[in-house]
């Protein structure tokens, strides 16, 4: 239904991204890439770099386009719509996090490399599966293995990890620093993932760029990064709704289009409501994504709503499509698998909801954006 208000420049970003992806992405292409060795086409990556996508929201001083988080989110939304998998989302997330933690230019050298087209990924386990402890000459990590997207293809790995106390550290290492700690594993969707075992890893002092980052600051940086994923999920949900509505007009059963049956119409309307709610909250969070804890809470709410909506709409879309929607001949299978995978990358639902409870319900009067 009615879209949010984009400035002319933002509308241009959106239109360019949509046109670029439409030029080559379809189900056959997605299937082909998923079966390929790298999972994406490096030549396309060069093209996306040339379009300025991976550094769209980075400052001019590191070769970025000086755009906003909204610009980056519009690009990830289009990738989400197309079900297009590449290291772009992770690179944008890593860069966003470094920008937020490194207002003092701490990460500018790596951000410049990203501006030049290098690939980055982000390790920030949402359920605090890895912690950092001070050790002689740096930090030593402990915890259970975590899943990371596109690490095998990345040049840089950004780590944002809690310390044993309350604070967090921010570190950045060349990907080969992690050596054989990363094992490629199959993913339920078309993104590439590794299982990364950081237990016992020593991070020397020089790779740890930020120490004593407060939990609030770290949460804010990661919330901005996660909003990019939320926007991708919103895009995915929107595409599924539009695609399913189109199918309901084309496909006839019992002598009429599916869209004339009230049971189907109501499914479709519920999908619209879910996708719209997620989009409204995501856009509101993007608009409010300024430093501060309250915006962090809204961003987390947007991530939750986007994941829930994407999964809800693909489940219903599969029902409306029937058998054809479950085959690899139809693009819906990519959305179906990506929806759950992208939702799960935010960690455990119950943990996220408890955080939201603390942020939105317990929060007291007089706080900007407070529920009460």
Q: Distances in Å between the alpha carbon of 345 and those of 146, 188, 310, 342?
A: 10, 12, 13, 5
360 interacts with other proteins by CB under 8 A: yes
**156 in Cβ contact with 175 (< 8 Å):** yes
Stretch that binds other proteins, among 116-124, 185-193, 197-205, 350-358 (CB under 8 A): 350-358
Bin 78: left if φ > 0, else alpha if -120 < ψ < 50, else beta. alpha
* In contact, 346 and 352? CB cutoff 8 Å: yes
Query: Closest approach of Cβ 244 to other proteins, in Å?
Result: 9
Question: How many residues of this chain interact with other proteins, rule: CB under 8 A?
Answer: 51
**Between residues 167 and 284, which has the closer beta carbon with respect to other proteins?**
284
The stretch near other proteins (CB under 8 A) out of 57-65, 76-84, 180-188, 251-259 is 251-259
Closest CB 10 distance from other proteins, rounded Å? 6
Please tell me whether residue 262 binds other proteins under the rule CB under 8 A. yes
Backbone angles phi, psi at 12, to 5 degrees: -65, -45
Which of 244, 230, 221, 211 has its CA nearest to residue 307?
Answer: 230
Among positions 44, 47, 181, 288, the unique one binding other proteins when judged by CB under 8 A: 288
Dihedral, CA atoms, 76, 79, 84, 86, nearest 10 degrees? -30
Residue 56 DSSP code: T
Q: Which of 78, 149, 239, 283 binds other proteins (CB under 8 A)?
A: 283
Please state the length of the chain: 372
Of 41, 167, 287, 294, which one interacts with other proteins (CB under 8 A)? 287
Part of the chain binding other proteins (CB under 8 A), chosen from 36-44, 48-56, 201-209, 248-256: 248-256
C-alpha 32, offset from chain centre: 22
The alpha carbon dihedral of 322, 324, 328, 332 has a sign of: negative
d(CA 182, CA 196): 4
Q: Which of 181, 195, 260, 340 binds other proteins (CB under 8 A)?
A: 260
Are 208 and 171 in contact by the 8 Å Cβ rule? The answer is: yes
Among 4, 12, 183, 206, binds other proteins (CB under 8 A): 4
Chain residues 69-98 in contact with other proteins, contact rule CB under 8 A: 70
Stretch that binds other proteins, among 117-125, 126-134, 159-167, 345-353 (CB under 8 A): 345-353
| Rounded Cα–Cα distance for residues 354 and 7 (Å) | 35
Least distance (Å) between residue 168 CB and other proteins:
22
Using CA atoms, how far apart are residues 283 and 181, in angstroms rounded to an integer? 38
Q: Which helix (H) or strand (E) holds 123?
A: strand 120-123
Contact 230, 303 (CB under 8 A): yes
Are 286 and 232 in contact, with CB atoms under 8 Å apart?
no
Beta-bridge mates of residue 267:
none
Residue 357 as a binder of other proteins (CB under 8 A): the answer is yes
State in angstroms the smallest separation of the CB of 214 from other proteins: 23
272 binds other proteins (CB under 8 A): yes
Q: Judged by CB under 8 A, which stretch of 29-37, 38-46, 112-120, 347-355 contacts other proteins?
A: 347-355
The nearest distance, CB 24 to other proteins, in angstroms, is 27
Asked if 158 interacts with other proteins (CB under 8 A), we say no
Q: Which lies closer to other proteins via its Cβ, residue 229 or residue 352? A: 352
CB under 8 A: which stretch of 1-9, 94-102, 168-176, 193-201 binds other proteins? 1-9
Question: For other proteins, which is the closer residue by CB, 152 or 360?
Answer: 360
Any residues with CB less than 8 A from the CB of 30 and at least 6 apart, and which? Answer: 83, 84, 85, 190, 331, 334
Q: Name the residue nearer to other proteins (CB basis): 273 or 293.
A: 273
Residues found near other proteins in the complex (CB under 8 A):
1-2, 4-7, 10, 70, 241, 245, 248-249, 256-257, 259-260, 262, 265-266, 268-270, 272-273, 276-277, 280-281, 283-284, 286-288, 298, 301, 304-305, 349-350, 352-358, 360-362, 371-372
């Amino acid at each position: 239904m009615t879209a949010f208000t984009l400035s002319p420049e933002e509308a241009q970003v959106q239109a360019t991204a949509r046109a670029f992806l439409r030029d080559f992405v379809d189900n056959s292409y997605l299937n082909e890439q998923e079966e390929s060795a790298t999972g994406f086409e490096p030549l396309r990556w060069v093209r996306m770099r040339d379009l300025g996508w991976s550094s769209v929201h980075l400052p001019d001083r590191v070769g970025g386009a000086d755009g906003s988080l909204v610009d980056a989110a519009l690009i990830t939304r289009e990738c989400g719509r197309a079900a297009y998998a590449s290291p772009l989302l992770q690179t944008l997330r890593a860069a966003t996090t470094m920008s937020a933690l490194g207002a003092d230019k701490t990460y500018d050298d790596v951000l410049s490399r990203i501006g030049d087209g290098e690939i980055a990924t982000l390790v920030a386990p949402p359920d605090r599966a890895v912690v950092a402890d001070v050790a002689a000459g740096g930090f030593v990590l402990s915890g259970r293995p975590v899943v990371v997207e596109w690490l095998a293809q990345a040049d840089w790995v950004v780590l944002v990890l809690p310390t044993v106390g309350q604070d967090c550290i921010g570190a950045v290492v060349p990907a080969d620093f992690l050596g054989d700690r990363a094992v490629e594993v199959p993913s339920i969707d078309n993104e590439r993932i590794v299982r990364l075992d950081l237990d016992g890893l020593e991070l020397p002092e020089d790779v740890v760029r930020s120490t004593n980052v407060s939990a609030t600051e770290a949460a804010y940086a990661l919330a901005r990064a996660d909003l990019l994923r939320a926007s991708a999920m919103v895009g995915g949900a929107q595409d599924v709704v539009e695609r399913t509505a189109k199918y309901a007009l084309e496909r006839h059963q019992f002598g009429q289009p599916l869209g004339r049956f009230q049971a189907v119409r109501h499914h479709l309307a519920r999908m619209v409501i879910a996708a719209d709610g997620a989009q409204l909250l995501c856009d509101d969070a993007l608009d409010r994504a300024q430093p501060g804890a309250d915006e962090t809470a809204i961003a987390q709410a947007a991530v939750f709503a986007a994941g829930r909506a994407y999964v809800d709409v693909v489940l219903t879309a599969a029902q409306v499509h029937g058998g054809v929607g479950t085959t690899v001949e139809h693009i819906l299978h990519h959305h179906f698998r990506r929806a759950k995978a992208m939702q799960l990358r935010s960690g455990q639902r119950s943990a996220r909801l408890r955080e939201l409870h603390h942020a939105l319900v317990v929060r007291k009067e007089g706080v900007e954006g407070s529920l009460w």
